[in-house]
Every structure is written in structure tokens, then in C-alpha cells.
Amino acid sequence: MALKLYNTLSRKKEFFKPLKDKKVNLFVCGPTTYDFSHLGHARTYVVFDMIAKYLKEKGYKVFYVQNITDIDDKIITRAIKKKVFWKDLSRKFEKEYLKDMKALNINSVTKYARATAHIKEIISQVNRLLKKGFAYQIKDGIYFDISKFKDYGKLSRRTVWQAEDAVSRIDTAEEKRNKGDFCLWKFSKTGEPSWPFDSLRSLKVKAGRPGWHIEDTAITEKYFGSQYDIHGGARDLIFPHHEAEIAQMEAISGKKPLVKYWLHSGFLTVKGKKMAKSLGNFITIRDFLNRYSARILRLFVIKTHYRSPIDYDEKAILQTKRELKRIDEFINKLKNRASITELLKEAKVRRG
Ligand SMILES: [Zn+2]
């Protein structure tokens, strides 16, 4: 049976056909490494692990890349608060993240790509955006001009004006051309981590660090080229993050679409509210695994359609625990039966 996927870009179920033969290039947004991951993250990564494994099972060759945001304002702020070097903090939580993924049997990712290992590619993209007139420099950094990109809003179905309202709360640089313009390269203040910027033009660009959205397109361009098959992530990343990715890469390459199938997973909620660090209603993967097995968590996630919300509560976990036990018992019975059948066959052969 042909596989169909719901594509956020078209808001339709579409037949799945990779760009090239049976090869699937898959990218999923990875963690920002400043703290332990919680069950909301676990849901996203279990879902895309399942999808990658399903595709492999169906004979596709899956090249699965995930980025690690190892430089970011959150990391810098947390490091200052904890009085540690930002890189030590970032590496520590990258290690913890990978440990959690291993414990959850999430092993389908081909390549984890750190943002700081792709500064050269990021600068190259910013330079090309400057050259093509999609980016401009102001006092605190280089920004993407969303009014220059005609297709802006096609993934999230927002207009530039709606986008402005949503972003203005987060980003308040006064000199920006449009409120919704997002940062590509942020100039570093004294004492902050920074990388030199090799500018293509006579323009002098100060040392700084990459904005969040540009690392993903720099990484995917390096490993997949300017177009690829599947981009995944939790649904809260549709805007502004994934919208920004489309704007950046399609502006640079002139080719569209950047991604053929956009897949977004539903939230893990607690009493109907999204599990989030900012809401303080989270349970870390580590804490969960101290009490229950990884298989319980995987079944808990997988038994619900990946786009639907899942409400987390203790009762639902205990229910899943019982379900898993029944499945295991059933498999054991089948195995026993299979071995009995084998024995009978052997006996028959010997007798014959
Ligand atoms: Zn991302």
C-alpha cells in the first residue's frame, strides 16, 4: 500500500515519493543544550524515531540529521547564572541528551550536527542573503527582511503583518525594517562567545554568533543540498522557526520547496496544557526513567497518532504498563507455540 503523509505545507495528505529513488533525507530540530530534556521532547523524538524506522522497514534509505543548538541566548544566560563556562554547560547537557536518547532506544539518527561546528556554513548563508538583498545590518546584528520574501507565511498561513504581531514580543530591536524580521547574526557583547565574520563584500561585519533559524538551513544545505524530503519537529516550531527556514533557504537558492513534506507532531500536555519548561509543568526524561521503563514511554507515545495531542498523567502510564505486559505475554505465547511447532516438525523429520 502506498504511503501517505499529512503535509503541513499543503494541509493535505499526500502520496509519499522521495526526491530521489528510495533515498530519504530527513531533518528534525534537535535540542538547545542548557538543561535536561523533558517528556515533551521525548515525545517528538520517539515519534520521528518511529517514522525513520518505519521508512527503513519499507526499504527506504534514510539519512536522518538532527542539529544540536550548542550556542544560544538561553545557554549564555544559564551559564552566567551558574557561573560556568558556556561551552562546559552546553557539552554537559548534550551528553545528557544523548544519554536520554540512548536510554529511549532512539538510534535512527545518522548525524548529530552542532551549530558551532557549522559556523563557516552559517556565515556563507548570511553572506549570500546580504548579497541578494534579503538581509541587512543594524547596530546589534544582521536581520532577514521578511517583506522581501514574497512567500513569507506560506507554511504557517500568516501574513507579514500577523507575523509582526507574533514576533514583536520576542524580538525588540528598534532599527528593524519590519517587526517580524529575525536575526541571522547577532553581534556579541564583550565577554560573550563570538566567532569572526568573514564578509564577502566591503561591508564590515562584527564578530558574533548565529541566530537560531540559520543554523538549521546551513546544516541541511551542507548534508542534503538546497532541497530535501522531510522536515520534522513539534508543531510549535511551525512559526516562526520553520517559516524562517523556508524564507532563508528559498531566498538563497531560488528553488522551492525547501522541503517536500513538513511533518509536525502534536504536543504532550498536562491537564490540557503543553508540557514546557517555561510553564514549570514538566517531568524530565531522566526522572521518568527512574520510575518506569523506556518501553512504557515508547508505547505511551506510539499508541496515539503522532499529530494528536497526548495528555500525560500517572493513570495513563499505569494503563500503558498493563498494555505492554499483555503484548509481551501474547508474544511469549506465540514464541512458545512457534518453538513447539518446530519441535514437532523436527520429531517428524527424525521419525521419517
Ligand atoms: Zn530547528
Q: How many CA atoms within 13 Å lie on the side-chain side of 200?
A: 11
- For residue 145, report the distance from its CA to the centre of ligand 1, in Å: 19
- For residue 267, report the distance from its CA to the centre of ligand 1, in Å: 16
- pLDDT (0 to 100) of residue 47: 98
Does the pLDDT at position 195 exceed 60? yes
- Kind and range of the H or E run holding 82: helix 73-82
- pLDDT (0 to 100) of residue 168: 47
Average of pLDDT values for 69-78? 96
Does the pLDDT at position 260 exceed 90? yes
The answer to whether 45 touches 104, Cβ cutoff 8 Å, is yes
Average of pLDDT values for 89-115? 98
- pLDDT (0 to 100) of residue 1: 73
Q: How far apart are CA 69 and CA 102, in angstroms?
A: 19
- For residue 350, report the distance from its CA to the centre of ligand 1, in Å: 62
- pLDDT (0 to 100) of residue 350: 78
- For residue 104, report the distance from its CA to the centre of ligand 1, in Å: 21
Percent of the chain with pLDDT over 90: 86
The answer to whether 257 touches 227, Cβ cutoff 8 Å, is yes
- pLDDT (0 to 100) of residue 34: 97
Average of pLDDT values for 295-315? 97
Count each helix (H run) and each strand (E run) in the chain, helices first: 10, 14
- Kind and range of the H or E run holding 210: strand 208-210
Q: How far apart are CA 42 and CA 48, in angstroms?
A: 10
Cell of 207: 564578530
- pLDDT (0 to 100) of residue 164: 64
Q: Phi-psi region for residue 191, left (φ > 0), alpha (ψ -120 to 50) or beta?
A: left
- For residue 242, report the distance from its CA to the centre of ligand 1, in Å: 7
- For residue 155, report the distance from its CA to the centre of ligand 1, in Å: 15
pLDDT-based confidence at residue 297 (cuts at 50, 70, 90): very high
- For residue 262, report the distance from its CA to the centre of ligand 1, in Å: 13
Average of pLDDT values for 134-145? 96
Query: Pick the residue with more confidence: 349 or 162?
Result: 349
Alpha carbon of residue 28 to chain centroid: 3
- For residue 284, report the distance from its CA to the centre of ligand 1, in Å: 21
Q: Mean pLDDT over all residues of the chain?
A: 94
- For residue 197, report the distance from its CA to the centre of ligand 1, in Å: 22
Cα angle, residue 260 at apex, residues 303 and 254 outer, rounded to 5°: 150
Nearest CA-CA partner of 171 in 241, 221, 238: 241
- For residue 216, report the distance from its CA to the centre of ligand 1, in Å: 5
Query: Pick the residue with more confidence: 171 or 226?
Result: 226
Count of other CB atoms within 10 angstroms of residue 350: 7
Does the pLDDT at position 277 exceed 90? no
pLDDT-based confidence at residue 270 (cuts at 50, 70, 90): very high
DSSP conformation letters of 252-264: HH--S-SEEEEEE
Q: Which residues partner with 232 through β-bridges?
A: 28, 263
- Write the pLDDT tens digit of every residue in 323-342: 999 999 999 999 998 888 88
Does the pLDDT at position 165 exceed 70? no
pLDDT-based confidence at residue 83 (cuts at 50, 70, 90): very high
- For residue 166, report the distance from its CA to the centre of ligand 1, in Å: 18
- For residue 29, report the distance from its CA to the centre of ligand 1, in Å: 4
- pLDDT (0 to 100) of residue 151: 96
- For residue 314, report the distance from its CA to the centre of ligand 1, in Å: 31
- For residue 102, report the distance from its CA to the centre of ligand 1, in Å: 21
pLDDT-based confidence at residue 167 (cuts at 50, 70, 90): low
Phi/psi of residue 130, each to 5°?
-65, -45
- Write the pLDDT tens digit of every residue in 12-59: 999 999 999 999 999 999 999 999 999 999 999 999 999 999 999 999
Percent of the chain with pLDDT over 70: 97
- For residue 172, report the distance from its CA to the centre of ligand 1, in Å: 21
Cell of 311: 495528555
Place of cell 540512548: 102
- pLDDT (0 to 100) of residue 201: 67
- For residue 237, report the distance from its CA to the centre of ligand 1, in Å: 7
Query: Pick the residue with more confidence: 23 or 349?
Result: 23
| Cβ neighbours for 220, distance < 8 A, ≥ 6 positions apart | 25, 27, 65, 228, 231, 249
- For residue 331, report the distance from its CA to the centre of ligand 1, in Å: 39
pLDDT-based confidence at residue 171 (cuts at 50, 70, 90): low
- For residue 156, report the distance from its CA to the centre of ligand 1, in Å: 15
- For residue 44, report the distance from its CA to the centre of ligand 1, in Å: 13
Place of cell 543540498: 225
Place of cell 547537557: 93
- pLDDT (0 to 100) of residue 163: 64
Q: How far apart are CA 83 and CA 161, in angstroms?
A: 40
Q: How far apart are CA 226 and CA 250, in angstroms?
A: 8
